[in-house]
Amino acid sequence: LRREHKPRWSDLLGKSGLLPIVWVGIALSVFQQFVGINVIFYYSSTLWHSVGFSEADAFAITVITSVINVLVTLVAIALVDRIGRKPLLVIGSGGMALTLAVMAWCFAQASGSGAALVMPEPWGPVALVAANAYVIFFGLSWGPVVWVLLGEMFPNRIRAMALAVAAAAQWLANFAITSSFPAMAELSLPFSYGVYAGFALLSLVFVLRFVRETKGMELEDMRG
């Protein structure tokens, strides 16, 4: 026990700053939030009410969306060791980019703003389907899989510290996205969802370029 390595912040540093693997963990955490998932959950009831759904229907839609997220997360847990972490992230990023782009297009057809926003047929139902499809893609991938990767990708000697840094980055990203959405929505809802679609597309490029598959690897085999 005396020889057991005690985690230190300095373990996260290389010759030119944070180790590359730590930056990958931070980026995964940030992208998980920057695709706008919590905007969908935090503001969905108000949003659906503003585009023509009754208050009761808007609340029911929000509940259904939350249930869908839980169910597809269970599916992801069943698939993650069969398909792999990276393929699920790639599928999720592509699906989220597409569905967010559809939502941006739907809101571009709306007239008015704020409480006076009106979305003509058939764009309201299309936006609703796209939003729930987006939640499905997120729940199958970036929701649970990021946490799986963060728990596996770091070498043992830095795992605890690196996880702490990644979690802190995630909370900061969550705060930035949720606090900025009201102002962005006031400016333009199509622009807002277009931004999230852009981040989803960037996350796809990032995963393809920088994320290593950890399926079947032992924790002791991880290298920084």
Tell me if 222 is assigned to some domain: no
According to DSSP, the residues that pair with 18 across neighbouring strands are 13
| Residue 69 falls inside a structural domain | yes
Is the residue at 35 inside a domain? yes
Angle between helix 55-83 and 85-108 (nearest 10): 150
Tell me whether residue 61 is in a domain: yes
Per-residue pLDDT at 221 = 55
Q: Can you give the pLDDT at residue 5?
A: 59
Residue 186 pLDDT: 83
The pLDDT, as a whole number, for residue 1 is 43
Per the domain annotation, does 215 fall within a domain? no
Is residue 9, in this structure, part of any structural domain at all?
no
Query: Total domain count for the chain?
Result: 1
| Residue 184's CATH number | 1.20.1250.20
Compute the half-sphere exposure of residue 169: CA atoms within 13 Å on the CB side of its CA: 19
Per-residue pLDDT tens digits of the chain, which is 224 residues long: 445 556 666 667 766 777 889 899 999 999 999 999 988 887 777 677 666 677 787 788 888 888 988 999 999 999 998 999 999 999 999 999 999 999 999 888 877 665 556 676 788 788 888 988 999 999 999 999 999 999 888 888 888 888 999 999 999 999 999 999 889 888 888 899 999 999 999 999 999 999 988 876 655 555 55
Rg (CA), the chain: 19
The residue assigned the tokens 């598959």 is 213
Angle in degrees, CA 143, 135, 100, rounded to 5: 110
pLDDT reported for residue 188: 86
The domain containing residue 101 runs over which residues? 21-209
Structure tokens at 107: 């809101």
Residues 29/171, Cβ–Cβ less than 8 Å:
no
DSSP class of residue 172?
H
Q: Examine residue 175 and state whether it is found in any structural domain, yes or no.
A: yes
